[in-house]
A = this chain, B = another copy of it.
């Protein structure tokens, strides 16, 4: 029994339904905005903490910049203004009056961060300056979809300034690998391609953009994080200069990088199945739910003991003793929410000194002796995190195929990623693909190293339909 439309039948509908019925999020009253409900938000909190830890390990410090940006700031960098103008939300009235200068609600904070950097940086001793911000941003969306394209979303955005182009380049790639790819693989259990964006796809105002791309269950790609080399574009626009060791005044070299609540969409679309979400154990707010299936002598006590023992070994556990609701109904809810492990306990199990253990990554249920339950489940959680990653890797590999021509790539993109030599594709091919709703997600090298020269041997375009 399931309450969801099967993925095979209608993936977008399945996505919408699972987000709603698992109580992850819902639409807000202003078009394109969303309410992130407690279950969804608790997953986000854990993901945020995991990313934040990696960002700090990479030497960046958190700060906070204003939500409202003078409209003139957005206009200072030509490509940036062009990229964002159609998406801006504009505040024209404040404190009961029309404002002399309208303010935009930040779509990203390059301009306002750099107006501070211009004051903070004067010497090479101030570099590198590595700053990160956790914040909400607003980009008006015409075709909104929760987590994937919402008019407001939560994200982190890093902004850094360096003395040399090489240092900025190295840092942009370090974030891509050590922060984003690592968190996506280790925490979200999602393997990602790391690659370079084409000129067409790069960030407005960047010289070069890098991204992590995931493959969803429907074969579409999702950009999960980006890291940009901004060159000296913003440094010139905002006058960010430093006196170098030789006493010369020079413009800084910059990066910016971001990832967002979109990652929740990735988690849903990579791991979710026809029964609901499957939350990776490392991110699950509740890793184990102990269900009192039916009331009976000693059952609640045994369940409470199991909960205490699981807590003792560091497992995040929840007791479900709502026996007034049918066990079947409650089990469906826990499956929908994607709680990694469910322990069912009733009078008959207790008499046999065992409990039924259901692991969300698999389908089977198995009895386990109550005595050693906590230790066993503790190990299962580690294994199941790996199992999800293995499944997602198999999915990605199965859906990623080689193409030798633009037409073949377009066809393969109907339900997966096509790997097409960039020399075969090129900007013209990219343009043709775009007309069919297919894009070059990023450029990768066969040996996995970053693409220095797109036109070199062995550079492939990853071609796909994308969210």
Contacts and interface: CB of A to CB of B under 8 A. Distances in A.
A90 interface: yes
Contacts of A103: 30, 89
A45 interface: yes
A94 B64 CA distance: 24
B62 A38 contact: yes
Interface residues of A, number: 54
A86 interface: yes
Given A90-B91, A94-B89, A136-B135, A67 B35 contact: no
Nearest to A37: B63
A69 interface: yes
A460 interface: no
Interface string A44-66: 11000000000000000111111
A12 interface: no
A33 interface: yes
A26 B95 CA distance: 22
A397 to B, nearest CB: 35
Interface in A51-101: 61-70, 73, 85-96
Given A91-B91, A142-B95, A69 B35 contact: no
A136 B90 contact: no
Nearest to A138: B67
Interface of A: 26, 28-30, 33-38, 41-42, 44-45, 61-70, 73, 85-96, 102-103, 105, 112, 115-116, 119, 131, 135-136, 138, 140-142, 151-152, 154
A70 B105 contact: no
A189 B29 CA distance: 41
Nearest to A90: B93
Given A29-B73, A96-B85, A63 B35 contact: yes
Given A88-B94, A92-B92, A96-B86, A62 B35 contact: no
A95 to B, nearest CB: 3
A269 B94 CA distance: 29
A116 B37 CA distance: 10
A89 B86 contact: no
Contact of A95 (B41, B65, B86, B115): B86
A183 to B, nearest CB: 19
A189 B335 CA distance: 45
A61 B102 CA distance: 36
A28 B37 CA distance: 32
Nearest to A60: B38
A69 B34 CA distance: 11
A54 B444 CA distance: 47
Contact of A67 (B33, B62, B66, B140): B33
B112 A28 contact: yes
A135 B116 CA distance: 22
Which 5 pairs of residues, A with B, have the shortest CB-CB distance?
A: A95-B140, A33-B66, A28-B66, A38-B61, A36-B64
Contacts of A138: 67-68
A383 B30 CA distance: 51
A160 B116 CA distance: 39
A62 B86 contact: no
Contacts of A35: 63-66, 116
Contacts of A90: 91-94
B68 A38 contact: no
